[in-house]
Structure 1
Amino acid sequence: MSAGVHTLDLNFQGTPGVIAVSVFDTGDGLAVVDPGPGSTLATLKAGLNALGAGLADVRHVLLTHIHFDHAGAAGTLLTQVPAARAYVHERGAAHLTRPERLVASATQIYGDQMDRLWGAMTPVAPDRLLPLSGGETLRLGNRDVQVHYTPGHAVHHVSYHAGDDLFLGDVGGIRLDADQTPRAPTPPPDINLSAWRDSLDRLEQLPARTLHLTHFGAYPNTPAHWAGLRTTMTVDAQRILTGLDAGQDPEALTAAFTGDLMRDLHAEHPDLPARYEFACPPWMSVQGLIRYWRREAARGEQR
């Protein structure tokens, strides 16, 4: 396997360019950032094989957060590779060792599609998991990996900085094409736009050349990426707040938001709307933003 960071496409549900996995050699086996859902573990194996490696070469599973599309395969991977260990924020660790509540919550959303979409989520043995708080420097083989606590998308989200590479999970936005302005995925339950903006301020200052996004791929670290994400985050959030203030119900909010979003994306590239809707269903972003604004309103009333 050659040096550098490799992006593997998990071809989620047979669709390319939706979920990416980042892989790099540490000198002490491979590090895999966000191995994806359990349903695509076979694709991850095939991707590693194409690099001249295999699942047995994995030693470090770096999780940005515990959502199924990022961490669902972690437990199964660790079961199959006894020499590997996983890293996750301390507020997400318990959900990986005891995923029953996480699975039950997701089942309320996805119902009988759970297995088809996400596959099994096997518990991670506590002694195979290193909880993180942010601020650590992990020495993985011959590589130093800095851990940054980056809430906003999720309260337990971290990002990893290794040399020229910055692994952002979802906090760096969704960007499916070089022509697309990054957009913030805002599903429930714990979206926090203020914390997210603070995370972006910290991340933008890091000396990295390449940004790695789970959705999808690697992009040069440019001021335009961060500025674009801040702008679209504000625009999308304001659309929901305006609708709430006008008394729109969730169904009307979702329809209006989806229409505006699809027009924005089509203006950047005609293929983007369908791809984006699959990678980040707008109705989930609407639900998260509604929850966020209602929580903010309740806090204002309590002051």
Structure 2
Amino acid sequence: MTGPGAAVRTLDLNFQGVPGVIAASVFDTGDGLAVVDVGPGSTLPGLESGLAAMNASLADVRHVLLTHIHLDHAGAAGTVLGRVPGARAYVHERGAAHLSRPGRLLASAGQIYGGEMDRLWGEMRPIDAERLEVLSGGEVLRLGGLEVRPLSTPGHAVHHLAYHVRDDLFVGDVGGIRLSDTQTPRAPTPPPDINLPAWRESIATLRALDAHTLHLAHFGAHPNSAGHWDGLLATLELDAARVREGLERGQGMDDLTGSFTRALLDDLRAQDPALPARYEFACPPWMSVQGLVRYWGRAAARGGEGS
């Protein structure tokens, strides 16, 4: 990379030794490198080797742009900033406190992953609040020679941001999971913040932007096309309906998770036989079920669909 006009690079972080599951996106701002979603602490060696392939290193990173604070996106941020005194992290205002004091976030994840926490996610170090650029969305950032526009895009998480930079749109998880060009994008719906109306609104916001390329953490660069967004909306509604209908039939969590997983993996297998195994690394179906069960339970308590 040789300046702020250079192309975005996708770095495969090789999560758990599996390629094409978690990516970081890197571009030159003219004032050091920007990395969008540095990944978990467990994949920091993958980030370093990807930078080395660009004839760069962590020392060249000045801007860590986080779409949200989930461990697979932001877990390594504190370690990166600890090694690079001149770097700053950018995060939504509703996620910033968890980066400064990650204990609650780690405790919550520990209830899910137990003894697998370190193997899966590695270390998450706190970040000094003074080194955080706290955003609400709608700002215009000037990073070196580039204008960067963070956008509030809830639906997957209340603290989710997308970043619009020139012809590139970095969409985190609100842009869905798409592990190959042939796969229809799929919405990852883990607890606790799934909000279907907000997600639809975020999609409407993003698809209206003038950008040529979408960058997904799961996984890589894809054309910004109507087909991408239409496919994501369709599968979002399909998966949500499958869970709602299972609940209405009185299915327990084990049966509901099993039937949802079989249907989802069958959908993916029909598009590419290699997709199911990789998808389960990128987004375990049981987590999507849990998030949608929570969403529908809250909606029912309010008498209809809602936040």
Equivalent residue number for residue 164 of structure 1: 167
What is the Cα deviation at residue 279 of structure 1?
A: 1.0
- Matched residues in 2 for 1:42 and 1:11: separation? 9
One-letter code of the match for 1:157? H
Deviation at 1:42, TM superposition (A): 1.4
In structure 2, C-alpha distance between the alignment counterparts of 1:130 and 1:85, rounded to whole Å: 7
In the alignment, which residue of structure 2 is the partner of 1:251? 254
**In 2, Cα distance between the equivalents of 1:277 and 1:27?**
38
Query: CA deviation digits over 1:127-150, x for unaligned, max 9?
Result: 100110010011000000001000
Matched with 1:56 is: 59
**Pairs within 5 Å for 1:20-31:** 20-31=23-34
Please report the RMSD computed on the Cα atoms of aligned residues, expressed in angstroms.
Answer: 1.2
Structure-to-structure mapping, 1:113-262, within 5 angstroms: 113-262=116-265
User: What is the TM-score of this pair, normalised by structure 2?
Assistant: 0.97
Counterpart amino acid of residue 211 in structure 1:
L
Q: What's the offset of the Cα at 1:164?
A: 0.3
2: CA distance, partners of 1:295 / 1:226: 26
Residue 273 of structure 1 aligns with which residue?
276
Give TM-score, length-normalised by structure 1: 0.99
Does the residue aligned with 1:115 lie in a helix, a strand or coil? Answer: helix
Which residue of 49, 71, 76 corresponds with 2:74?
71
1:212 shift after superposition:
0.2
What residue number does 1:85 align with? 88
Instruction: Name stretches of at least 5 consecutive residues in structure 1 with no aligned partner.
Output: none
Deviations 1:191-210 (A, max 9, x none): 00110000000000000000
Give the corresponding residue for 2:18.
Answer: 15
Deviations 1:96-132 (A, max 9, x none): 0000000000001111111111011000000100110
Separation of aligned partners in 2, 1:155 and 1:297: 20
Distance 2:44 2:277 in 1: 25
Aligned-partner SS, 1:300: coil
1:25-40 residue pairs with structure 2 within 5 A? 25-40=28-43
In 1, Cα distance between the equivalents of 2:115 and 2:144? 42
Match of 2:288, SS state, is helix
User: What's the CA shift for 1:277?
Assistant: 1.2
Aligned to 1:296: 299
Structure 2 counterpart of 1:112, one-letter code: G
Pairing partner for 2:100 from 97, 102, 111: 97
Count of aligned pairs between the two proteins:
303
- 1:5 equivalent in alignment to 2:8: yes
For 1:29 and 1:37, locate their aligned partners in 2 and report how far apart those are by CA, in whole Å: 22
Q: Is the aligned partner of 1:43 residue 2:53?
A: no
* CA drift at 1:43: 1.3
**Cα distance between partner residues in 2 of 1:20 and 1:96:** 20
Runs in 1 of length 4+ with deviation above 3 angstroms? Answer: none
In 1, distance between residues paired with 2:266 and 2:122? 33
Query: Secondary structure of the equivalent of 2:182?
Result: coil
Equivalent of 2:109 in 106, 112, 117: 106
1:182-223 per-residue CA deviation (whole Å, 9 max, x = no partner) reads 000000011001100000000000000000000000000110
